[in-house]
Structure 1
Amino acid sequence: MSKKIISLSVLASLVIGGFAGYMAKPDVELKFLEGNAGAIQWLVNSGESEALQYQAYNMATESLKMKVNKETEKPKAVVLDIDETVLNNFGSVIGDYLTGEGYSKERFTAWSSEERAIPVAGADEFLKTAKELGVEVFYISNRYSEDLEYTINNMNKLGLPNADAEHILVKTDSSNKAERIAKVEENYEIVMFVGDNLNDFPEGFDKKANSERKEMVSTVEDKFGTDYIIIPNPTYGDWEGATFNYDYSKTDAQKIEDRNNALNETLNK
């Protein structure tokens, strides 16, 4: 199933029609979330977003074809994130914006229970190719255990490979993926990671400041496009958490101040 191009107005109607909890509130004061409007429009409506997704997965496919010819001690595997990497959560992202309340675990589980996510452009073909090449596919996601059954059902409906509890490793005690990566490495040689967040890659990006994350990227720049494939997502991620010093309890006003301070610091360097 290929990713469909759907206008934001149509997506909004799908979201509102599909789950009453995402009903838009005309009088809501969006405040902090107003800053996400352009990013959401770009992610769900722009051809540029879709082009970059295809570009990333085209690069991933070509790199994987070269890797299968190299000898490894263990069977080869690829590890992918799920949200905004394999599955396009338009209903969740738009719903969080329309309610004016932002992300919540409860709303995301409600969205995932509908099992209506569609593939990110190019993801389904890449996964099909990986299986054809004899490379095992694992998904390491920070979805919660409550979402696992819905995730498996959704991915099976889309015909995505290895959509089962053995290959989908969801969040347990920590959002840090290191332990789950190590679990896969017990039996497989991971030849590629695909994600939309630096924390999807095994370099220790977790809970680092944005300046540190950028420095760390520069030390492994040769891995991007070959061993590490990153999917564009400007709507959410740990880059945002780093802006707020990972303090998600801050008020909208404090988060806006943090955003502005970060931009001013960059401008004045």
Structure 2
Amino acid sequence: MRQRVLIPTLLASALALSGCQHTGAPRAPSAADVPADDNLNAVLWMQASAEYDAAATQTWRAAIAGLDAALAHPTWDALLPSERGNPATGLPPAVIVDVDETVLDNSPYQARLVRDGAEYASRTWAGWVAERAATAVPGVNEFARAADTRGITIVYITNRTEAMQADTLANLRAVGLPVAGNAVFLGKGTVVDGCESADSGDKRCRRELAGRNYRVLMQFGDQLGDFMQVEPNTPAAREALMDAHGGWFGQRWWMLPNPSYGDWQPTVFDNDWSQSAAQRREAKREALQTGRVSK
């Protein structure tokens, strides 16, 4: 089971510390100091609920059941034809996995943001990655063992930066996930010959690179962009992509639950992160669907 860092426990510890003489690091804010946070229930669900464990585990187990069929089918490929620049037949098999909230659980970082009344920042995120403290998402180790026994390489395509490679690979190894050398880490900033946007969060180029070396049996992620290019990032465009390619989910593509963050969120405030938290919250409230009002 994952190690659980429950937000109420963190808050209680912070309150206890606040009453002590303490000359070290500043105390964590008390509950009274921190405003209500939209992410509280989402993060707590990922840390405290058996339902999250069940949802993640069943995804990985269902994928195991499809591995042999995918291996046996010589033309089976989990890359869209538009992202496959070379024939897949005859290439060694691999699966592509995202890292964060797909194979590594970073909910303690999100819990700290809730506790502190803070938002994501590159500095605090880099500090968390350097801790190498993320735990394995439930069920992923079982899948990784099944893939390894079948000679299937796991390729990690992540929007962690290339500078985070050493810390990330160490963390993956620490939780028991296989790492077949540094070449299987394709982070943000990876240069792909013949393909632009090395510094972009768009993973299309890196998927193409993986496809040059492997027949991709499956892909795993927690966001739509882990499987296909999402452009523009609007509700209508995302719905159209699901209409076009949704049939691949549960066969070639596997989605892990992540209610805490993702590219779905800014679609409701026009991807404008310059707006204040209050403005973004109001846009989210306006986007709620409350059903037909009876007369």
* Shared fold, TM over 0.5: yes
Instruction: Check conservation: 1:8, 1:45, Cα contact below 8 A.
Output: no
Moved more, 144-153 or 101-110: 144-153
| Matches of 1:14 and 1:188, distance apart in 2 | 48
* CA-based RMSD: 2.6
Instruction: Check conservation: 2:220, 2:226, Cα contact below 8 A.
Output: yes
Give % identity. Answer: 29
Normalised by the length of structure 2, the TM-score is 0.81
* 1:197 matches 2:244: no
Instruction: Check conservation: 2:102, 2:220, Cα contact below 8 A.
Output: yes
| Matches of 1:154 and 1:22, distance apart in 2 | 28
| Matches of 2:14 and 2:250, distance apart in 1 | 34
Instruction: Tell me how far 1:114 sits from its aligned partner.
Output: 1.1
For residue 66 of structure 2, the aligned residue among 59, 63, 67 is: 63
Which residue number corresponds to residue 113 of structure 1? 130
Aligned residues: 262
The structure with the largest helix share of the pair is 1
Q: Which runs of 5+ in 2 are unaligned?
A: 18-23, 75-88, 190-198
Matches within 5 A, 1:242-257: 242-257=267-282
Matches within 5 A, 1:146-161: 146-161=163-178
Which residue number corresponds to residue 35 of structure 2? 30
Q: 1:204-252 deviations in whole A, cap 9, x for unaligned?
A: 2244212321232122222111101000000000001222222112101
| Matches of 1:12 and 1:238, distance apart in 2 | 28
| Matches of 1:130 and 1:14, distance apart in 2 | 41
Which residue number corresponds to residue 45 of structure 2? 42
Which residue number corresponds to residue 224 of structure 1? 249
Moved more, 236-245 or 69-78: 69-78
* 1:125 matches 2:147: no
Q: 1:129-166 deviations in whole A, cap 9, x for unaligned?
A: 11111111101001123322111111111221116421
Change (3 A) 1:69 1:166: same
Instruction: Tell me how far 1:50 sits from its aligned partner.
Output: 0.7
Q: Which runs of 5+ in 1 are unaligned?
A: none
Normalised by the length of structure 1, the TM-score is 0.88
Choose 1 or 2 for highest CA Rg: 2
Which residue number corresponds to residue 205 of structure 2? 179
